[in-house]
Amino acid sequence: MAFMEQPPAGKVLLDDTVPLTAVIEASQSLHSHTIVRRYSDFDLLNSSLQISALSLPLPPKKLIGNMDREFIAERQKGLQNYLNVLTANHILSNCELVKKFLDPNNYSVNYTEIALQHVSMFFRSEPKWEVVEPLKDIGWRIRKRYFLMKSKNQPKERLMLSWADFGPDKYLSDKDFQCAVKLLPSCSHPYIYKITFATANESSALVIRPFNEKGTLKDLIYKVLPFLKKYCNPKKFKTNTRGFPYGHLHSSNVVLDGDTCRLLDLENSLLGLPSFYRSYFSQFRKINTLEGVDVHCFGHLLYEMTYGRPPDSIPVDGFPPGPSASVVAVLESLLSCEALKNGMPAMPTKLKEALKAAKECIEKRLTEEQKLIHQHRRLTRAQSHHGSEEEKKKRKILARKKSKLTAFESGEEHLAKYSNSNNSALSLFGLKKKSDYMLVRKSKITEFSVVY
């Protein structure tokens, strides 16, 4: 950020996916980024992380001689190794417990309480929604919180609300963002999980979806619901389902409905939230497009579905035998060292242009065909309507009226001609009025008859 530049309003600039590192210093000088931790703090953190079922290398306690210089130096090495293991593990390093331990200045607030306050403000004008309870064991994002909801119109239906602050990648204007959020509930696609309600304010947004009792794909892989429990130490898993690549793709954002994969958190990109795998693909310069990011994330998902666990490190040096050679070949093209250096597989540009042109031709032919069909339907309806008995009767009546009108108009025309031919008689008898002429003409005819 440039000097004196103001940060965007309502936007959290801190990227929670940036990996943290920690180095234990023997010096007593405390700098701005130095924190003080006792061994008891490490022990408390380690106890909280036991739900992960990992064997974490915390140095053991020692009651006698724990102030010896040699013991202190040895324990320092052990604690440093312990921190290295935590920060190297992708899931543990993004865990709120670890974040608060390593960076208390930025991660010391109660995010559940903050989320609940925002949600309550949202629903002041939407009284039909009711918050049942917070869902603390769902999700990995520190600034995204989940709540069990119900609608007062349908109290038996279980719903899930997700709330989140705007992230550092939010670049939509407020007007465009509001329009996009309002469109989310109307987005219908067989591979996108239904959104019941969505709204946003100047700094955050919330989305309501039907609650899925079975959990996500990650829950099915590891057979547990709490996010940390055994996620880092899974058992083997076999499945015939297929992954579906999209932005922010990972196994916690996929819900299985029968044999169909449906995607969650479609709103993440709108909110500007960074990807779960950002710390991986940000290291490789060849992954520099959103398409490449999507493909890379799909590689992580495919690996986890194939082997029942995430890769130990990226790039992957060697791939164990998979359910088929073709699956392993795909993984090699996405996660191997050579693949990451050369970039993700992508469709050739010329082929994209050819497909785009073909798509436009198909759409043009479809539009022309629809236009012809529409015209044919209009003509058919007109012919059918014109040939009905009711219309025939109407036409006969109309023809009679027209015939009478024509006859009447012909009589009027004849009378007008006759009147014009007798205009000279008016001057002959010295009369000016037509009525007088008619009376004189009658009398003259009568007189003529008498003489005869």
List C-alpha distances in Å: 87 to 23, 97, 278. 11, 12, 15
Chain segment 41-55, per-residue pLDDT in tens:
999 999 998 888 888
What one-character-per-residue DSSP string does 372-427 give?
Answer: HHHHHHHHHHHHHHHTSHHHHHHHHHHHHHHHHHHHHHHHHHHHHHHHHHTHHHHH
- Does residue 314 or residue 383 have the better pLDDT? 314
Two tokens, residue 201: 């304010």
Q: Quick one: which of 122, 148, 146 has its CA closest to 133?
A: 148
Chain segment 227-275, per-residue pLDDT in tens:
444 334 433 333 333 333 466 889 999 988 877 888 899 889 889 898 9
Sequence-distant (6+) residues with CB within 8 A of 126 are: 199
User: How far is it between the farthest Cα atoms of the chain?
Assistant: 167
Residue 243 three-state SS: coil
Sequence-distant (6+) residues with CB within 8 A of 220 are: 214, 239, 256
Q: Quick one: which of 12, 417, 396, 392 has its CA closest to 202?
A: 12
List C-alpha distances in Å: 36 to 26, 61, 204. 11, 19, 33
- Does residue 347 or residue 161 have the better pLDDT? 161
The Cα–Cα gap between 163 and 172 comes to 18
The Cα–Cα gap between 154 and 148 comes to 14
Chain segment 187-214, per-residue pLDDT in tens:
888 888 999 999 998 899 999 999 988 8
Q: Domains in the chain, please, with CATH?
A: 9-107 (3.30.1520.10), 109-227 (3.30.200.20), 422-452 (no CATH)
pLDDT band at 393 (very low <50, low <70, confident <90, very high): confident
Chain segment 344-358, per-residue pLDDT in tens:
887 666 666 776 777
Helix-helix angle 290-307:325-335, to 10 degrees = 140
- Does residue 1 or residue 272 have the better pLDDT? 272
Contacts 24+ apart (CB under 8 A), 100-104: 101/37, 101/41, 101/45, 102/20, 102/22, 102/35, 103/20, 104/35
